[in-house]
Each structure stands twice: as structure tokens, then as C-alpha cells.
Structure 1
């Protein structure tokens, strides 16, 4: 991939490529792609994410740093956007079973554009082989014993109506880190009322439970399905609740 310089220009946009990347990155930061105070991905990952060279990413970061929108220290770069910080989720975050970011646990999350797992396609009302956005989450407690693994498949409806989720399609390669903790707030801001139905089942012969969450909107359209397996000792429990759309 050719390296860019401050004098290189994007043939389609008529502006330096690094400035366009700076603008796109700033937009993602304002959308909450990286929570306030958390480090940005490294230059190599950002270069892969935007499909440009590391030098172009480095120049884009320099623009944001110069404008006071980015700060860099020994731990890396993080956003310093003016105004109100990105609001915390109005209630439980995404995905089901996600731990709070307290530094005491190890966690990772990725997204891929692929056919959903067995059973998810039927729940979402799509053809079995039709690809969609699939989110995977894994975490372990500080001592490494309490494990959680969740797989979420999103419907075509929610990807079409929730802009923040739809943007992930073109960069869902299954390898890069994904920050979707505000997914339910994004859905509510898009005018969707969220109806959850969580089914909790004990896994025979194992100290674990499986939780299946199905989310529909006010029109009974499926939005997502999540399967979570976590260490616990519980009997079957089914509960439902509704989260109104943001006003």
C-alpha cells in the first residue's frame, strides 16, 4: 500500500487522504466507538480498519492531536472531545453478560459478517445461509475461573434502522475489537421499544447455565438473539421486560 504524505490527495474527495481519515475517525469517536478515557486501537489496527497505511493513520492522529481532540501518553492515545461526555448506557449494557470495565477481568469482543449460528437464523426470520452481523464476546474473571461467552446475531431490520450498527458491516472481519456496549441505547435512540425475553437453563452435568435472549421491537419484529454460557448454578428461569424508545 502506497504511503501518503501531507501533500497526497484522495482522487475522489479532493482533499488529503489523512484528513479524510481524521474526519472518519472523529465521527466514530463521537458515536462512542471508543468509550471516553479508553485507549484507541493501535496504528496497525486502525490502518487495517480504514484500509490505509500506518503513515496515513499517523498523520490523521496528528491532526486530531493538534486540534485538541486527542491526547497521547505512555499508555497510548485517547479522545478528549469537548462538551458532554458520551452518555453511559441507560440501563444494562450490551452484550448480555458483559462485565463492567473495572480492570479485574479479561474480556474481548469481535464482530463478523457471516451466516448466523444454528437456530439464530430462524429466530431472526432470515434464510439459514444469509450473512448478518454476528458479535462474539468472551470474558474471564481475574482468577480465570469464571468464564462467560456470548454470541449475538442481529436482524436485517435493526441493521437498517440503527445507523451505528449498520456501519459495522464493512469492517466486520472477525478479528478487530468491537465496542458495541451502547447497542441498546442506539436502538432506543432510533425509536425502537425493546422487548426482551431471557430464558435461563441449567446445563446438565456442568456448573454452567445457558441464557438465550430474544429482543423484539414494538412491532414484534426480531432485532437480535444472544446465547450466553456462563459459570453458575441456577434452575430454569424465564422473565420478560420492555424498555421504551428514547423520547
Structure 2
């Protein structure tokens, strides 16, 4: 007589365990425990958190991937469900102080592959003289008033982690237009969580102010540094803060 092996099939009315775990994980994502774009804990930690096997976690993640709520790349899985990321494009524009070109104004942006300013190199951990991707931005009215200029240098980490930025190396000749308005979106899509710190300095003997922005990721690795100079006599620099504030 043939021997039959029992299978642990749940009753028809019982939801599979991996689906229940997927539902619980989705609830935690919607609660903001893992902000959109930020990397999820690894399978082992998730298995310990939910008290299930790694295979069950793997099945739950696959279900969420099929529904477009989680994405996985070589750096791991991260939440992609709709919602405000840690820094939204409205609150963190690239470059800092950028203004949209309107009738009567001129906005010009280019990229070069060259050694950054010495203070940028130091902030990014680059050796003196080592070239990197440098973004130059200039905005003014047609008669030259309201001038804003910004110089951004990207770190080796940013170029290694963010494919869209790395592609600009081959065309960084300083001639083609390259606004890079989506630079921060590209960083988030690469699984990086952005944190920034801004410092405002009035330039001596001029009506201008300088804003220095430094952006780093969730591992405290520098991603970029920008120096924006604004003609404060002719222009207004407006800062918007989202509450509750997030301390760096």
C-alpha cells in the first residue's frame, strides 16, 4: 500500500501565512516606519521581526513587488508605495535656490568633469586634484538683475550609486544643457535617504549671500555640496520648512 505524505496546506478559508506577513509589512510601511525610498531591513531581520521563516518573508516581498509596493535592486528592497519621502521635491530642489525660467529670465546649467573647488573636495572626501562631476547653474533676468549662481560637486559615492548621474561623465564638456532637476529623485530611486544641512553666509562688502548645502545619505556618506550665491539686494531668498522638523 502506497504511503502518502501529508502536506501542510492551510484550510481553504485561511489566508496563507506569507499573505498575512505581506499585509502586516504593508501596514508598517504605510505607518511610515520605513519611509518611501528608504531601504527595508534584510530578510533575516524581517523574519525575526515577524517570527517566520526567511522563505515566508521572501514570498511576502515578492507579493508586494508584484503589486508595485516594493522594489528590489542590488542594494536590497525599498518601499515604493505613494507617499511623501523623507525630503520631497517641493522642499529639496536641485540645485538649492533654483528658479524656473520664465519670460524675461534666463536659466543656464551645464556639467563639467574637473577637480572641484578645494573646500568641496574636502567636504566630499576627494583627494586634491581628483576630478568629479561638477554642475554649474546661472539664473538672472534678461537685464542681469536677480543673479543666482550655484556650483555643485558630486561625490564618488553619488556617481557610483546613482546611474543617471554617472551617465553625465561622458558628456560633461561644459557646453550641453544639463539642469539635473531630478538629481534628488534619482538618488532616492537608488535607495538613498537624503539628509541635508544648509548654512547661510553674508558676503563681505557685497549685497550678496552664500548658501552652502551639504547632502548626505542614511550612512552619513557625502553625496553632494552646493554653493549658491544670491544677489540679495535684488532678490529674495525664501526658505520653507516642513513640520515636524527632522534633525540631522
TM-score (norm 2): 0.57
CA deviation map 1:63-99 (0-9, x unaligned): xxxxxxxxxxxxxxxxxxxxxxxxx945442111111
**Aligned residue runs from structure 1 range 162-201, under 5 A:** 162-201=162-201
Higher CA-based Rg: 2
**Aligned residue runs from structure 1 range 1-247, under 5 A:** 89=89, 91-232=91-232
Conservation of the 8 A alpha-carbon contact between 1:90 and 1:185? no
Deviation for aligned residue 1:101: 3.1
CA distance in 2: counterparts of 1:170 and 1:132, whole angstroms: 12
- SS state at 1:153 partner: strand
CA distance in 1: counterparts of 2:91 and 2:183, whole angstroms: 11
TM-score (norm 1): 0.57
CA deviation map 1:132-186 (0-9, x unaligned): 0000001102442110110000001011111110100111011111130110111
Deviation for aligned residue 1:117: 1.0
CA distance in 2: counterparts of 1:173 and 1:130, whole angstroms: 17
- SS state at 2:157 partner: helix
Structure with bigger strand share is 1
Deviation for aligned residue 1:205: 1.2
- SS state at 2:174 partner: strand
CA deviation map 1:30-51 (0-9, x unaligned): xxxxxxxxxxxxxxxxxxxxxx
Deviation for aligned residue 1:104: 3.5
Conservation of the 8 A alpha-carbon contact between 1:196 and 1:242? no
Aligned residues: 154
Conservation of the 8 A alpha-carbon contact between 2:100 and 2:107? no
CA distance in 1: counterparts of 2:217 and 2:89, whole angstroms: 18
Structure 2 gap segments, 5+ residues each: 1-87
Conservation of the 8 A alpha-carbon contact between 1:194 and 1:242? no
- SS state at 2:118 partner: coil
Aligned to 1:12: none
- SS state at 1:100 partner: coil
CA distance in 1: counterparts of 2:224 and 2:145, whole angstroms: 29
CA deviation map 1:196-228 (0-9, x unaligned): 100001111111001111000000000000001
Question: Could you say if the C-alpha distance between residues 169 and 100 of structure 1 is closer, same or farther in structure 2, counting changes exceeding 3 Å?
Answer: same
